[in-house]
Structure 1
Amino acid sequence: MDITIHSSFLPHDAADAALAFWRDLLGFELRLDVGYDGMRWLTVGPVDQPNTAIVLHPPGVDPGITDDERRTITEMMAKGTYAGILLATSDLDGVFERLQAGDADIVQEPTEQPYGVRDCAVRDPAGNLIRIQQTR
C-alpha cells in the first residue's frame, strides 16, 4: 500500500503573521496563497519536501460548524489548546535559536524527555502548539 501524508491543517487568525512565522522563521516555502470572501488560505511546506504541506486556514469555516462551535474554536485558539503539530530537525538547537531570536512564543526550551526524545515547543501566532524533535 502506498499512502503518504500530503497535507495537514492548522488554523490561523492572521495570515500575514502566520506567513511571517512559517516562512520567515521556520524557512518553509509558500506554495499557495488563496483568498476567498475576505479569508485567506496559505499552503506552506519544507523546501526539500514538495509533496508534504501544511494548510493554514481560517478557523471554523467548515459549512457544518455552528456559531457556538466557531466561538469555542476561537476561545481554544486564544488559549493555545486547539491544534498542534510535531516537526523534526537534525539541528534542534539551531532552529530553536532562530525561533527565539525571532520572538516566537517559547513554551519549552530544548529538553531531553524521559520518553527518549529531545525536543522543544513553541506556539505560532495563532496559538498552535508546535513541538520540534531532534532527529537521530
Structure 2
Amino acid sequence: MDIRLSSCFIAVDDHDKALAFYGDVLGLEVRNDVGFEGMRWVTVGPPAQPDVEIVLEPPLANPNASPEDRRVMAELLAKGMLRGVIFSTDDCDATFEHIRDSGADVLQEPIDQPYGVRDCAFRDPAGNMLRFAQRRGE
C-alpha cells in the first residue's frame, strides 16, 4: 500500500493576512484561490513539495451554519485551539530568527526536545500554532 499526504487544512479568518504570512514569510507558493458561496479557499505549498498542499479555509466552511456555531468557531480560532501544522527545516535557529523578525507571535524559542528534534513554535495571523522542527544531527 502506498499512502502519501496530499492536503491538510488550516482555518484562517483573513486570507490576505494569511497569504502575506504563508507566502511572504514562509515562502510557500499559492497554487489555487477559489471563491464559493461567499467563502474563499486558498491552497499553498512548499515549492520543493509539489504534491503537498495546505488549504487555507474559512473557520466554518458551511454556509448553513448557525450564528452560534460561527461564534464558537471564531472563539476557538482566536484561542489557537483549531489545527496546527509541523514543518521540517534544516536549520531551526535560522528559521526561528527569520520568522521572529517578521513580527510573528512567538510561542516557543528553539529547544532540543527529548524525542529527537530541535523545534520552535509560532502563531500564524489567525492564531493557529505552527511548529518548525529540525531532526537532531542534521
- Shorter-chain TM-score: which interval? over 0.9
CA distance in 1, matches of 2:57, 2:104: 20
CA distance in 2, matches of 1:34, 1:71: 24
The alignment of Structure 1 onto Structure 2 pairs a total of residues equal to 136
Q: Kindly state the Cα deviation for residue 65 of structure 1 after the two structures are TM-superposed.
A: 4.7
5+ residue gaps, structure 2, are none
- Contact 2:37-2:63 at 8 Å conserved across structures: no
CA distance in 1, matches of 2:82, 2:18: 16
**Partner residue, 1:72:** 72
- Equivalent position amino acid for 2:22 in 1: W
- Contact 1:86-1:131 at 8 Å conserved across structures: yes
**Partner residue, 1:40:** 40
**Partner residue, 1:51:** 51
State the Cα RMSD in Å. Answer: 1.5
- Give the share of equivalent positions with the same residue, in percent: 51
- TM superposition score normalised by structure 2: 0.91
CA distance in 1, matches of 2:2, 2:63: 31
**Partner residue, 2:114:** 114
- Equivalent position amino acid for 1:57 in 2: E
CA distance in 2, matches of 1:93, 1:46: 19
List structure 1 segments (4+ residues) > 4 angstroms apart after TM superposition. Answer: 63-66
